[in-house]
Every structure is written in C-alpha cells, then in structure tokens.
Structure 1
Amino acid sequence: MAPTLPFFLLCQVALYATVTSKKVCGRPPITDGIDASTLKRVHEVGEEMTLTCERGYLPSVATSQRITCTATGEWTQSNLACSPKMCPIPKPLQPLAMGRTEAPFKSVLNYTCDDGYVIQGANESRCLHDGTWSNPLPLCKAVNCPVPRPPINGIVVHDKPLTGTTTMYGQGWTYECNPPNAPSYERGSCQANGSATEPPVCREVSCPIPAGIPNGFITFAVMRQHGYKEKVKYACNEHYILDGQAEIQCRNTGNWSAKPVCRAPCKVGIKRGRIFYNAKKLWIADLKPNRVLHGEHVVFYCLNRAESCGYPVASTCNDGTLPIPECFEEPGKMEYTLRPKTLPSEIAMCAASPPASPTHPERPA
C-alpha cells in the first residue's frame, strides 16, 4: 500500500494544472464616454459584450460595437469612440471664451457680478446630456441706495437729476454747507453694499495767507486769511511760463490747492550753427535775444556721413534746460565762416532720418 500515496498526490497536481490553465478575459479597455455599467471584472472565453456610449456622448460609428473574449484572454478590437455633446456658449459670454463657441458636456459656467451689482438668477449652469444648459444666463442688476441725507446746515447736489426715491450704484453727489462753513468731506456716492455715504459735518474753515511763488506773483489778492472756496490767482514774471492752474482755492481741509510753477526760459547753448525755431530757419547769431520759452521746440541739424546728407533733430526747452542732440557737431570757426554751405543744415536733407539719438545737457556758451 505504500506506493499509492505519492501517485495520488501527483494526480492532484496534474488536475489542478489542467483547471487553472483555462484563459479568461479581464475588464475590457474602454475610453472616456463608453458606458461601463454592464462590464464585469472577469469574463469567460467566448463571452460577448456590446459597447455603447454613456448619456451625453455621441458614438463615432452608427452600428453597435460587439467585442468577444478570445481563447488567448484578449478582447477583439473595437473602433467605437465616444465624444461629448456640445452646448453653445451664450453669445454675451463668447468675447470671454477666447474664440470658442461651444463647451463640452459636463462643463460648468460660474457667474459673478461686478461690485455694486447683484445677480438675478442661478450663479452657475451645467452643460447637460442633451446639449442644453441647466440654467439660463442670469442678469446683473445695479445695487440701489436710499436718497442721501443732507448735512446739518447744508444741502446735497446730485451729479445727475434724481428720479424716484433711490439712487443707483456709482451715482455721486456733492455736499455743500451754508457759508462760511465747509463740509468735512465734499463727495458722496451710492456704495457697493447698498448704502449711501453718511453726511459730513459742516464747520468753519479758513486757509492761511497765500504764499508767493518763485519767479511769479499773486494778482488782485488781499494778504489775509481766506475762507472755504475763496480763490487767489498767480502770474509769472516776463518770459516765464505758468505750469499748473493759475488759480488756487481754499479747500475744506484748511489748505490751499496746488500752487502753479513758473518755468524758466532756455538759452540755445551753441556758438555756431543754424537752427529751426518759431517757424524760421535761423543762424544762431540771428537769434536775438538768445531765448527760448519753456515748452518750445528747437530743431538742430546733424550729419549723416554715410549718405552725405543732413537731418533734423528736435529738442524741447524744459524749465531752463535745452538739451543738445548728441549727433550735433558744432562747426569750427573757419568752417563756419568760409564754408557755411557745407554744414548739415545747408546740404541736401536725407530721405529718412536715422533713429533718434540721445541728447546731452545744455552746453556752455
């Protein structure tokens, strides 16, 4: 009886090998959009499956696609591909969609309104399986504020005529106090949270005696303290140009508005050469007096050596400084006196000027 046990064990091993050698197919490979609800983790040889697209996807082929589990444990091939249905992007949003006019199934549009506006409708919409949006495009409606209250001993002056009992977001107004008082702040508006600016406090305000300005003077003013909104006017000495508002006003803070500045004239800092100024072509010796006002332009002439032609370069007087173009070369005394027709200002002008060259500060006379 002894040899019987090994033989029995050998038969069991052979039987196990025969059973486990049978091939099966795992879950078939699928791409996005294919319905996986009927698929199993293990399929028998010869078993067939019909592949379809999920709801919200379109098949690439008209006929149903069947695949079979083969004896090798592989599935037969399928050429089914599923593409998502598309929802048209609402026309008001297309400028923000970077050229796209459609969005795929399951896309989500999130809506927000700018500050001062409230949304009316859903704040999001989803692309549905049938190619439509779950919610219509909402509206953004401006916030309304109550009519502003005037300050004590003052009034409210609206920027636009007031209609009804409310104002809209962004609308503004000015607070005014009965003279000689001034409001602690002058402007108010309908704010994003739906509230109107609180009224200011009216109080007496005065500004100190106005100060003078360099190279200028105060016109028609008494040297005293001034009340709210009173004005003082400035002017400049001869040949100086006023830069800024000529009149300053006493503000509600007790300070004056910004004073103007008197900008100085310039001297053309060359001894020899020809310029174009004030619509005239002048030799520098004929510019009498040698003075250019602030903001005025002077044209110098430079030489293009490669083309043997001249070209103009403009410079602007800026508060006493007139930069000389780097390309400008002041001629020597002999050349200027005996051969003036060879200077860049007198020879043929170039068809096109080269790129602008930097300028350097005014040269000493």
Structure 2
Amino acid sequence: MASTLALLVLCQVALYNTVTSIKVCGRPLVTDGIDKLTLKRVYEFGEEVTLTCGRGYLPSTVTPRRITCTNTGEWTQSDLACSPKMCPIPRPLQPLAMGRTEAPFKSVLNYTCDDGYVMQGANESRCLHDGTWSDPPPLCKAVNCPLPKPPRDGRIVHDKPVTGSTTMYGQGWTYECNPPKAPSYERGSCMADGSATEPPVCQEVSCTIPTGIPNGFITFAVKRQHGYKEKVRYACNEHYILDGEDEIQCQNTGNWSSKPVCRAPCTVDIKRGRIFYNAKKLWISDLKPNRVLHGEHVVFYCLNRAERCGYPVASTCNDGTLPIPECFEEPGKVEYNLRPKTLPSEIAMCAASPPASPTSPARPA
C-alpha cells in the first residue's frame, strides 16, 4: 500500500511539471499599420494568428503572414510591414508643401485665407483610407465693401473703374475737395473687415513762403503763402547736381513736400598720374578745369607688383568728395617727368584685378 501511494505521488508531480512547462503567449507586438482589432490578450501554445494591414495601409507582401505561439511563450517572426496609402497633394498647394506631391493616410491639410478674403468651403481636409481627400480645397473670395461716401464739398476718384454698388478689398481711391480746400487725408480703401474708409474733412490749408536751398535757387515764385497742391520749382548753381524732385508741393498737412539738395562737384586731388574720365584717358595736368560732377566716375591705375602689371580702380564723386583708392601711388616728380612709360597706367594691364582688401578703406581726397 505504501509503495502504491508513493508511485501515485510521483506520477502527479511528473504530470504537474509537464503541464506547467508549456507557457502561453500574450498579445503579439506588431508594427504601425497592422490591424490590432482582432488580436486577443492571451493565446495558447500552437495557436496561429493571421496578420493583415489595417484600413488605409498597404502590405509589403502579397500573401498574408501567419505567426504561431510557441511553447516558450514567444511568437514566431513575421516580415509583414504596412505602409500608409498616399493622397496626392493638389498642384496649387505643392509649393507650400516643400516640393512634396503626396501626403500619407491620416494627414490633415489646414486652410486659411489672407486678410480681406472670406473662405468658401471646408477649412481642413483629411487624407482618407482610399487615397482621396475628405474635402476639396476651399476658395478665398475677396471681401466686398459698400461704395465709399464722398467728402462734403468734394468728390472721390477711384483708382480703377467701379461698377455696381460695392468695391473689392484692397481697391483704393483718392479724396479731392473743391479748391482751395484740402482733405484732412487724401487716400481711402476697402478694408479687410468689409468697411470703407470714412470720408475726410475738407478744410482750407496754406503753406508758408518757400525758402531757398544751399547752392541753388527757386526758379520762379512770388514770395507769398501758397495753397494746397500749389508747386514751386528749384534749380542748382552751375556745376551742382540736383538730387531729388525739382518741384515741391503744398500738402494737405500745410507742409511742403521734401526739398531737393544740390550736390557739390569734386576735384581730383592728385598732382601726378593718369586717370580715365569722361571716356578719355587723361594726364591729370590735362584735366582743365580740375572738376568732376557729383555721381560721375573717375578711374585710377594701381600697380600689381607681383605680376608687374597695372589695373584700374574706379571711384565716384559724392557731394564734393572723391575718394582716392588706397592702392594708388602717386609717382615722384622725376619718375613722372622722365619715365612716364613705366607708370601703372602705361604698362600692360593685368588679366584680372586683385580682390579689394576689406581692411584697406579708400583714403579721402
């Protein structure tokens, strides 16, 4: 009886060890895109699972891939990969998509309109599982404004012809008053919120007696106050160059518009050497009078010592100042008079000018 009981206990232990050595498998770990809805939490040894791609994804293999739960509690390997379907990006939007022509499943396009435009359509579109967009791109339609009201004692001049009872966002106009009055502001427009600029007030405006400018004069003007939009013209003394508009106008603020400036001529401040000026190559002694007008260019000649050749460097007269290039070396009196053929202006010109040194500013005249 004792030996029978011992044998029964040993058989139960052996059976227990055999049963408990087989493990179960948990839910398989799968990559993005694989359908997880049909997967259970626990699987027994030997169970198989067929992996498929979810809606909106394409499989990397033609046939479905099966995995099996092994007696170690692990799953066999699968080479299935799922890639999202792609939606073609609308051609007008491709420049904004950094050159991309497609967007993956679940992508979202968000649309906005510029100020002054109203959106007609959905403000977003989603890439669907079948490779199409949920909504087409919307339209952005310009805001309309009611026609502006003219000022009292005045009128409106539109930039573009207007038809109907409205005008579009961005379109502008000018307010004018009956002389001698001036509008408190001259410009109006259809604004982004759909409203038109309110009309200005017409008021009498005058500007003070105009004054002269240095090295210039008023061509003709009676010394009196001037009304809105009246003009005065300026000119410069001989050899001075007018910089700016030659006319100024009395503005609606009671101030004159900006007066021009008369820019001074320059002298070429070297005693010996040759220059290129006014389409001629001249010895400095032949430049008579020694005068260069504002904005004109003078070319000096410098020596490339390494190549033993000359190269031209241009300088520009700027309101009485003509910088002399740092590379220019004025020859001595003996060299200038006895050996002029050796000067940089007379020897062979270099094939290319050396780059200018950023640490060598031009020395002023």
TM over 0.5: yes
Write the mapping of 1:1-365 to structure 2, written as runs, cut at 5 A.
20-357=20-357, 358-363=360-365
Equivalent residues, number: 355
Say whether the 8 Å CA contact 1:268–1:362 is kept in structure 2.
Answer: no
Partners of 1:165 and 1:265 lie apart in 2 by 58
Say whether the 8 Å CA contact 2:22–2:72 is kept in structure 1.
Answer: no
User: Match for 1:91: what amino acid?
Assistant: R
- Per-residue CA distance 1:102-127 (angstroms, 9 max, x = gap): 11000000111111111111010000
Partners of 2:242 and 2:16 lie apart in 1 by 108
Partners of 2:14 and 2:170 lie apart in 1 by 90
Say whether the 8 Å CA contact 2:105–2:127 is kept in structure 1.
Answer: yes
Partners of 1:205 and 1:230 lie apart in 2 by 11
Say whether the 8 Å CA contact 2:301–2:311 is kept in structure 1.
Answer: yes
Partners of 2:270 and 2:304 lie apart in 1 by 20
Cα distance change, pair 336–48 in 1 and its aligned pair in 2 (3 A): same
User: Match for 1:362: what amino acid?
Assistant: P
User: Match for 1:232: what amino acid?
Assistant: V
- Per-residue CA distance 1:58-117 (angstroms, 9 max, x = gap): 111111111110001111111111110110111111122222111100000011111111
Partners of 1:359 and 1:342 lie apart in 2 by 26
Say whether the 8 Å CA contact 1:23–1:71 is kept in structure 2.
Answer: yes
Q: The residue matched to 2:136 in structure 1 has which SS? A: coil
Cα distance change, pair 248–12 in 1 and its aligned pair in 2 (3 A): farther
How big is the shift at 1:17?
6.7
Q: The residue matched to 1:99 in structure 2 has which SS? A: coil
Report the identity percentage.
Answer: 85
How big is the shift at 1:36?
0.5
Partners of 1:17 and 1:262 lie apart in 2 by 110
Partners of 2:237 and 2:321 lie apart in 1 by 18
User: Match for 2:210: what amino acid?
Assistant: P
When the two chains are superposed, the root-mean-square deviation of aligned CA atoms in Å is 1.8
Partners of 2:55 and 2:94 lie apart in 1 by 26
How big is the shift at 1:128?
0.3
Equivalence for 1:3: none
Where in structure 1 are there 5+ consecutive unaligned residues?
Answer: 1-9
Cα distance change, pair 351–12 in 1 and its aligned pair in 2 (3 A): same
Partners of 1:75 and 1:122 lie apart in 2 by 46
User: Match for 2:330: what amino acid?
Assistant: E
- Per-residue CA distance 1:178-220 (angstroms, 9 max, x = gap): 0111001000111111111111111111111112111111111
- Per-residue CA distance 1:282-321 (angstroms, 9 max, x = gap): 1101111111000000000001111111111100000000
Partners of 1:92 and 1:290 lie apart in 2 by 62
Say whether the 8 Å CA contact 1:321–1:361 is kept in structure 2.
Answer: no
TM superposition score normalised by structure 1? 0.94
Partners of 2:310 and 2:361 lie apart in 1 by 17
User: Match for 1:62: what amino acid?
Assistant: V
Partners of 2:208 and 2:308 lie apart in 1 by 63
How big is the shift at 1:361?
3.6
Equivalence for 1:6: none
- Per-residue CA distance 1:147-167 (angstroms, 9 max, x = gap): 111001000000111122111
User: Match for 1:203: what amino acid?
Assistant: Q
- Per-residue CA distance 1:263-285 (angstroms, 9 max, x = gap): 00001010100001111111101
User: Match for 1:360: what amino acid?
Assistant: A
How big is the shift at 1:19?
5.8
Say whether the 8 Å CA contact 1:274–1:301 is kept in structure 2.
Answer: yes
Q: The residue matched to 1:79 in structure 2 has which SS? A: coil
TM superposition score normalised by structure 2? 0.94
